[in-house]
Chains A and B, each alone.
Chain A
Amino acid sequence: MTSRRGLVLEVDRTTPPIVFHHGEGFRFEKLPPGSRVIYPNEPIAPISNVDEAIREALINPLGDSEPLTALLTPGMKLTIAFDDISLPLPPMRSPDIRGRIIEQVLDLAAAAGVDDIHLIAALALHRRMTESELRHAVGDRVYDAFAPQGQLYNFDAEDPEGLTHLGETEHGEEVVISTRAVESDLIIYVNINLVSMDGGHKSVATGLSGYAALRHHHNVQTMRQSKSFMDPEKSELHTKNWRQGRLIAAAGVKIFQIETTLNNDTFPAPFEFLQKREWEMTARDRAMLLGSKKALDRMPRKAARSIFQSIRSPYGLTSIQAGEVEAVHEVTTRNVYKQHLVRVEGQTDILSMGLPYIGPYNVNSVMNPVLVACLGLGYFFNLYKGKPLVREGGVVIMSHPTPWEFHPVHHPSYIDFFEEVLADTTDPEEIERKYEKRYAEDDWYRHLYRTSYAYHGVHPFYMWYWCAHALDHLSQVIIIGGDLRATKRMGFRSATTMRDALEMASDVVGPSPTLTHIHNPPILMADVV
């Protein structure tokens, strides 16, 4: 299988309408001639023998690490942490790569006579995973062997006995991680590195940590200094995580890091047309596209949502590396870039994007307006290296219905954040100053995070901070098809059509602006030169 590189298409009169993701549906937008459309690289050929690749990685570690077999000793305390429901997006078709890796790790551990093993979903302040989600991630065999004994569980960042304070970095950043991890002789962390910000020291320093430590980098100032947080070299978020990670290592906590990269084979049948380039679509693709659009437009949103939420992606594994955290992550980042980076020349006045139905925080859930903003202005906007795709003072036009809807179990603090905080101000700094502490320390949210399936009380704040760089950089944000009230609440403007949106943008960028559209997902990262 050969994979073609991504490209930047210049739109002319003959270019067919471009397919925009639009929540649980699509839009077809005819872009003005001269606009650019950035297409992702096609999926890189996957590794054919996954199990063999896993075994190879475990016994041939990178950096200053012994092979896993040498690290496993009888009677030791072993903790296997793994990425939670937020990765990958959409969830992976079974068997999930985490499960396949964990199976092999457990085999080695069993062979070495290790029986004190805990498996922890490293979810930091995310919601707890349900039984079926855990089963999906680790596989039934692992689940049934460990969960009933209480050895497979969700991390609890609010368990007063469950966290250990390891110290402070030279910059005063507190380092707090799971007590079980600290007390373990070895932590094996199983990553899925979907984008370049995932993994590295962030895995343990963030994934197994809580509010006390996270607040040092999950804040407005850090996000504003991360340009972008997807580019490790220029990410303050990365820098701070690395400082915390090095302190963890210095404290004697031993981590065996396993990182994996996936190709961007995202959409299975019948949605495979979503990763085709419009002019290459067959008659059948077009018919499917039109047909599904029509059907989805007519369907109640809840029905459409359940169809989309059931998508499981056929990703192929493109690399796996294990060993010492930093050495592993260096290779991983290169591999991620291989799939994602597309070279783009120069910035644009207007950046447009079609936002899909899913982001990291609404798997099996509802993409509420705050998550819409975060997906567009946090994630998509920051998927750049070098310079932002859109020039300073430019405009982002994103497409999403942005309904005023929330999942009451998963996102209770989001509801209040939207009703109370954003109704007062949309300025990230003011929000941080005035409201963050109260939400972060709220007993009810804490209770729901710990016993129900709720994101932590402070989580919506982080989503808003994720947008801080974009909010600083842009002079206007327009949401095509966005619910009027919800869009306005966030300080954005809502347009009915692309044409209206361009008209509105002309107030800021003049009558003949340059426009660039990122055709994402499948995920791409712009290397702007």
Chain B
Amino acid sequence: MIADSLAGKRIAVTGSTGFLGTALVEKLLRSVPDCELVLLVRPTRRYSVERRVNREILKNDAFNLLRAQWGPDFEQRCEKRIQVVSGDVSQDGLGLSDADNETFTSCDVIIHSAATVSFDNPLDTSIEINLLGPNRIIEALHAANRTPHLVSVSTCYVAGNRRGDAREEFLAGTPFQVDVSWRGEVEAARRTRSDLDARSREPNRLSGFRKEAREELGAAGLPMLAAKTEQRREIWVNDQMVEAGRSRATSLGWPDVYTYSKALGETALIELHGNVPVTVVRPSIIESAWSDPAPGWIRGFRMAEPLIVSFAKGELDTFPGFPEGILDVIPVDMVASAIIAAAANGPQPEPEVFQIASGSTNPLLFKVLLDTAMEWFGENPVYNADGHPTAGTEWKYAGSQGLEEQLKRVVKAFDVAGKVINRLPIRGEKSFTSKFAERRRNLAQIQGYVEIYGAYGKCEALYGIDKTLDLWNSLSDQDRAEFGFDPRVIDWHHYITEVHLPTVMIQARVKTTPEKKVGPSRKDRLTEAVLNEKREFAAFDLENTLIASNVVASYAWMATRHLDRQQRLRFTLKTLAQSPGLWRRDKRDRTDFLRFFYQRYKGAPVAQLEDAAAEMLSNLILTKSFPAGLRRVRAHRAAGHKTILITGALDIAVEPLRPLFDHIVAAEIAQKDGLLTGEMAKVPPTGEVRAQLMLEWAAREGLDPSQGVAYADSASDLPMLEAVGYPVAVNPETRLVAIAEKRGWLTENWPKTPGAPNSILPMGPKAQRVTNQRGNN
């Protein structure tokens, strides 16, 4: 009897916050009533280990059954049977304190299920956790001079990219594993990291990162660009490490860095285990539960689901694989039960391997999976936001290679297009750019899944489970009822339609009913939040946030007022002809652009410009204004918030907007003898200077930036947006669309009024002799 043989034992579990780990903890608590558990949990920056256990394990719906059974005693009984130690398998000595080390190593059984299961980890990450993790446990046990039964969870796929039978045996020394030294691999991985880090710091690379940062953020100011550049460098090193992992794994015949590191981990474990008895359990692809703790129970998004959901949403119509290919899936409860049975079976003189997989005894063909899924989606369609069912088309199969290539090409095309779009003056939340960004993200995701999945599609190995079945046959009827792990009982049709897909759809949060969402939308809530009376101030950018105009247009308008028609046209066209150059300069550095451009005002009479400003309000500014934006400014004032306008436009030109704002920060050109000198009187408010000026003003007024709202359209306004608690992206340019979406900022799309007069060229009407028609009554 399993429960009896484990009764009174202390069982340590690593990786208990994972999918399999959670299932193990639950099963042990429920079905092995007299055991105690020691959970080795890694502390995170936010949560202590106790908090993690409570939040991430015990609060999981896997424990619903146990909560119901134990009722009010649940917490107390858990506390009594579970001991938590704070540790980390990727650190030497497991990162355990002396006391915790004693608690951990003194256990009777250690189930090591901690792993990083990501297929595209950086090389050294996988090595540290998957390869060295089991080693470190062995070392800790040797150091403590303890010999508990170590049950280590591996994966069937350590067998690598081979065809045919893969039996339950260790690979080291067989023709199926290239004879490489795992120690050499560890060293090489660490060296690769430091080499890449050094390379990333070479001057040409650094300037490349800086260029990328600028491309992403535009003229966002020095501190932001610097931070972004460093982030770019780190990403580059990481990407290179991922690539290093992938290529190293494939070069040795494994589909990815996960299986590679797992396989070498097994090899190292066998080499080092000494007198510690070891059992290795290799599951295939772990999927939602067959029956325990509830049919369909799953944690997180697994392997095939993203692809299936993409298909149901109509995003993908080609499947990476062949119709007759086998998808080796095994329900999580069977894996947990097999591990517990192996543990109960007790230590054996020689290390043992148990494989738990379905492919060899009860294969699930791709064709069956997809046809069944199709059938199910026919009856349970996924709905789009408008409440229309999205049509899943017929699946096409493609060798994953072909599909990968195809996707790669599309993604690349998207990237090239993205770069072009980033440089075009297209904006807006619902605009093409936003859809583009979304589509690009989806594609990248799908591409990722296909890549990973394709590798498994290519594995045509059949994983033998003879030893596992021997173990199964040795069980009593009672144990078999309690600890089912015979994959031959799975009815795949039932599993897919009744167990798996229904939960997957809930997990994926896709719409499975046609009803439109009721209640306030996310946008309504965000709008409510920015206008809430607790907010203290609202800062506004001007150009493309409140009006569809810019400093060049204002200048042309002002300058042409005193020219005759012919001259006016010539002047305006000349200014426009220069705009590509001006625009490039603007993109590079806004401050520099403004300094350069405002020189043109040299010698302009201040009084004349002030006169013209009032007329420009009607003729240029209001005509090109976004009424919803002006309404928002006033809504803030009505809510009792202070308002501030921060713009690189000329102070004289924006003076007519004064009644909307408590304070205006604008560019000032120095004056001498009633004429403008063309030199900036102060640093023009751009990039990080804007944020600074806004914060200085807020401090003077005693306003709290965390209760501030800021509206802007461009990534160069990021410092200002990030300086407040409530940033709002208005008619955002492509770069800002992506950032705003990622961070969940309110995005507004404010159009000009339909019906507004269109003037193609920014020309002022001829100055009139009497500019103010209103006399003194």
Same complex for A and B? Answer: yes
Looking at B454-462, B503-511, B628-636, the stretch in contact with chain A turns out to be B628-636
Q: Which residues of A are found within 8 Å of B619, using beta-carbon distances? A: 409
Q: Are A153 and B758 in contact (CB under 8 A)?
A: no
Q: Is the CB of B627 within 8 A of A408?
A: yes
* B775 interface hit (Cβ, 8 Å): yes
- In the complex, are the beta carbons of A366 and B770 less than 8 A apart? no
Q: Which residues of A contact B756 (CB under 8 A)?
A: 406-408
- Would A131 and B773 be within 8 Å (CB), given that A444-B630, A451-B617, A452-B617 are in contact? yes
Q: Which residues of chain B (606-621) have a CB below 8 Å from chain A? A: 614, 617-619
Name the contact of A447 in the complex, choosing from B659, B754, B772 (C-beta under 8 A): B659
B631 touches A419 (CB 8 A): yes
Output the least CB separation between A263 and chain B (Å).
32
CB distance from B181 to the nearest CB of A (A): 72
Q: How far is the CA of A125 from the CA of B137 in the complex (A)?
A: 85
Which residues of B have CB within 8 Å of A128? 773-774
Query: Which residue of chain B has the shortest Cβ distance to A147 in the bound complex?
Result: B770
Residue B769 is within 8 A (CB to CB) of chain A in the complex: yes
Provide the residues of chain B in CB contact with A172, threshold 8 Å.
Answer: none
Q: How far is the CB of B633 from chain A (nearest CB, A)?
A: 8
Which single member of B627, B638, B755, B770 contacts A131 (CB below 8 Å)? Answer: B770
Given the known A-B contacts A403-B754, A408-B625, A444-B660, are A416 and B631 also in contact in the complex, defined by CB atoms under 8 Å?
Answer: yes
Q: How far is the CA of A33 from the CA of B772 in the complex (A)?
A: 58
- Cβ of B244 under 8 Å from chain A: no
A406 lies within 8 A of B774 (CB): no
Smallest CB–CB gap between A440 and chain B, Å?
14
Q: Which of B630, B755, B769 contacts A148 (CB 8 A)?
A: B769
Contact with A along B118-136 (1 / 0, CB 8 A): 0000000000000000000
B777 contacts partner chain A, Cβ-Cβ < 8 Å: yes
Interface string of B375-408 (1 = CB under 8 A from A): 0000000000000000000000000000000000
Whether the pair A419, B628 counts as a contact (CB closer than 8 A) is yes
Q: Residue of A at shortest CB range from B771? A: A131
Question: Is the Cβ of A412 less than 8 Å from the Cβ of B775?
Answer: no
Which residues of A, 173-224, contact B by the 8 Å Cβ criterion? 178-180
Residues of A within 8 A of B614 (CB): 451-452
Q: Which of A134, A161, A368 contacts B755 (CB 8 A)?
A: A368
Interface contact tally, CB-CB below 8 A: 100
Residue of B625, B757, B773 near A154 (CB, 8 A) is B773
Check B753 for interface membership: any CB of A closer than 8 A. yes
Complex-state Cα separation, A408 to B617, whole angstroms: 11
Report whether A162 and B627 are in contact in the complex, using a CB–CB cutoff of 8 Å: no
Is B774's CB under 8 angstroms from A153's CB? yes
B interface footprint on A404-446 (CB within 8 Å = 1, 0 otherwise): 1111110010011001100000000000000000100011101
Report whether B618 and A406 are in contact in the complex, using a CB–CB cutoff of 8 Å. no
Report if A242 contacts B (CB, 8 A): no
A366-B773 contact given A452-B617, A452-B618, CB 8 Å threshold: no
User: Is A453 engaged at the interface, CB distance under 8 Å to the other chain?
Assistant: yes
Find chain A residues with CB under 8 A from B772 CB. 150
Bound CA span A448–B618, Å: 8
B752 pairs with A180, CB closer than 8 A: no
- Asked if A231 is at the interface (CB within 8 A of a chain B CB), the reply is no
| Inter-subunit contact B752/A408 (CB<8 Å) | yes
Give the interface centre of A120, A152, A409 by most chain B CB atoms within 10 Å: A409
**Is the pair A443, B659 in contact by a Cβ cutoff of 8 Å?**
yes
Nearest residue, chain A, Cβ from B634: A444
Which residues does chain A contribute within 8 Å of B773, judged by CB atoms?
A: 128-129, 131, 134, 147, 152-154
Contact residues in B for A156 (Cβ distance below 8 Å): 774, 777
CB of B610, distance to nearest CB on chain A (Å): 13
Shortest Cβ distance from residue A291 to the other chain B in the assembled complex, whole angstroms: 26
A448–B99 alpha-carbon span in the complex (Å): 76
The answer, among A120, A407, A412, for a CB contact under 8 Å with B630, is: A412
Question: A151 interface residue, CB < 8 Å from B?
Answer: yes
Q: Are A180 and B777 in contact (CB under 8 A)?
A: yes
What interface size band does chain B fall in?
A: 20 to 34
Residue of B with least CB distance to A406? B753
Q: Bound state CA distance, A180 and B634, in angstroms?
A: 33
Cα of A120 to Cα of B774 in the assembled complex, Å: 9
Shortest distance between the CB of B654 and any CB in chain A (Å): 13
Pick the residue among A129, A404, A419 that contacts B754 (CB under 8 A): A404
Q: Which residues of A contact B627 (CB under 8 A)?
A: 406, 408, 412, 415-416, 419
Asked if B174 lies at the interface with its beta carbon under 8 angstroms from chain A, I say no
Per the 8 Å Cβ criterion, residues 88-139 of A in contact with B are 118, 120, 128-129, 131, 134
- In the complex, chain A residues whose CB is within 8 Å of the CB of B775: 118, 149-153
CB distance from B621 to the nearest CB of A (A): 9
Are B755 and A406 in contact, CB atoms less than 8 angstroms apart? Answer: yes
Whether the Cβ atoms of B755 and A154 lie closer than 8 Å is no
Question: Could you say which residues of chain B place their CB within 8 Å of the CB of A129?
Answer: 773
B95 within 8 A of A: no
- A302 at interface by CB-CB < 8 Å: yes
Which B residues touch A443, using CB under 8 A? 659
The docked-state distance in angstroms from the alpha carbon of A118 to that of B773 is 12
Taken residue by residue from 739 to 777, chain B's Cβ proximity to chain A (1 for < 8 Å, 0 otherwise) reads as 000000000000011111110000000001110111111
* Residues in B whose Cβ lies below 8 Å from that of A118: 775, 777
Q: Are the CB atoms of A302 and B774 closer together than 8 Å? A: no
Q: Please report the C-alpha to C-alpha distance between residue A444 and residue B634 in the assembled complex, in whole angstroms.
A: 8
How many whole Å from B767's CB to the nearest CB in chain A? 11
Instruction: Indicate if the CB atoms of B755 and A366 lie closer than 8 Å.
Output: yes
Closest CB in chain B relative to A442 CB, distance in Å: 7
Q: Cβ of A406 and Cβ of B754 under 8 Å apart?
A: yes
Nearest chain B residue, comparing its CB with the CB of A183: B777
B358 close to A (CB within 8 Å): no
Q: When the two chains form their complex, are residues A448 and B770 in contact, meaning their CB atoms are under 8 A apart?
A: no
Asked whether B754 lies within 8 Å of A150 as measured between CB atoms, the reply is no
Interface pair A131/B768, CB less than 8 Å apart? yes
Question: Are A408 and B656 neighbours in the complex by a CB distance under 8 Å?
Answer: no
Residue in A closest to B615 when the chains form the complex, CB atoms: A452
Q: How far is the CA of A140 from the CA of B614 in the complex (A)?
A: 24
CB A158 to nearest CB in B, in angstroms, measures 11
Residues of A within 8 A of B659 (CB): 443-444, 446-447
User: Residue A297 at the B interface, CB < 8 A?
Assistant: no
Residues of B55-79 at the interface with A, using a CB-CB cut-off of 8 Å, are: none
Q: Complex formed: what's the CA distance from A134 to B774 in Å?
A: 12
Q: Which residues of A contact B634 (CB under 8 A)?
A: 442, 444
Q: CB-CB < 8 A to B752: which residues of A? A: 408
Interface centre among B623, B628, B660, B754 (most CB of A within 10 A): B754
Say yes or no for A12: interface residue by CB 8 A criterion: no
List the B side residues contacting A162 at CB < 8 Å: 777
CA distance A148 to B634 in the complex (A): 36
**Docked pose: A89 CA to B454 CA in angstroms:** 75
Given contacts A404-B754, A408-B623, A408-B625, contact A154 B618 (CB under 8 A): no
With CB as the reference atom, state the residue of chain A lying closest to B776. A150
Given the complex, which residues of B lie within 8 Å of A178, measured CB to CB? Answer: 777
Bound Cα distance from A139 to B285, whole angstroms: 90
Question: Which A residues are CB-close (under 8 A) to B753?
Answer: 405-408, 415
Which A residues are CB-close (under 8 A) to B754? 403-406
Q: Select the residue from B753, B755, B769 with max chain A CB neighbours within 10 A.
A: B755
- In the bound complex, residues from chain B placing their C-beta under 8 Å from that of A180 are 777
Q: Is B622 an interface residue (CB 8 A)?
A: yes
* With A156-B777, A403-B755 already in contact, 20 other A-B pairs whose C-beta atoms are closer than 8 Å: A118-B775, A120-B777, A131-B773, A134-B773, A153-B775, A154-B773, A162-B777, A178-B777, A368-B755, A405-B754, A406-B754, A407-B756, A408-B752, A408-B753, A409-B618, A409-B622, A444-B634, A447-B656, A451-B617, A451-B656
Can you show 16 pairs from A to B with CB atoms below 8 A apart?
A: A118-B775, A118-B777, A150-B776, A152-B775, A154-B773, A161-B777, A366-B755, A405-B753, A408-B753, A408-B755, A409-B623, A415-B627, A419-B627, A444-B634, A451-B614, A451-B617
